[in-house]
Amino acid sequence: MAFPKIIVYKDVKPMHVFLDKNWTANLSDLSFSISLDEGKSQIEAEDVLGTYGYLDPLYFATRIVTEYTDVYSFGVLLMVVMTGRSVYFTGPDGYRVGILAYVKGLSENGKLSEVICPMMMQDMKSAKRLQVEACVLLALRCCEERVEDRPKMIQVAKELKRIEHHVLRS
């Protein structure tokens, strides 16, 4: 199914996600959203709107909104959910740390399991850990610097379904 217009939300963050009675995630507060005209891949916004820490750095720097703007923010949101940390937090050395740098550093050092929220880890079986780690790796792909290296949101949704079904079969 094709959509005639791409809608870019521009403020994807945990506070704007709610679950309905079937545990389906929904976005609230569409006040910052913008639609791209059919056949267009980007638009220049008058102002940069969104929440610092979740904002796509390219959108922040250029005011250019693309279909990848929300992909970046969604990646940050996934990291926040998987780690149980805020988008910015105080690290062990007392300095302010961004969630992306934190997760990226652990991943690059082969410590992906340390990314997962300790409370989530308590009763987690190994198959579930693999599922969470796959979500974290997907989140990192969503936050690639170059938009060309990020998946499209439809690919993100398909990958999340694949991760969910793969673990359920394991």
Q: Annotated catalytic sites, by residue?
A: 11
CB 65 within 8 A of CB 10: yes
Q: How far apart are CA 139 and CA 50, in angstroms?
A: 19
Helix-then-strand count for the chain, H and E: 6, 8
Helix (H, G, I), strand (E, B) or coil at 67: coil
CB 107 within 8 A of CB 137: yes
Who's near 99: CB < 8 A, 6+ residues apart? 53, 76, 79, 80, 83, 85, 86, 87, 88, 89
| Residue-level length of the chain | 170
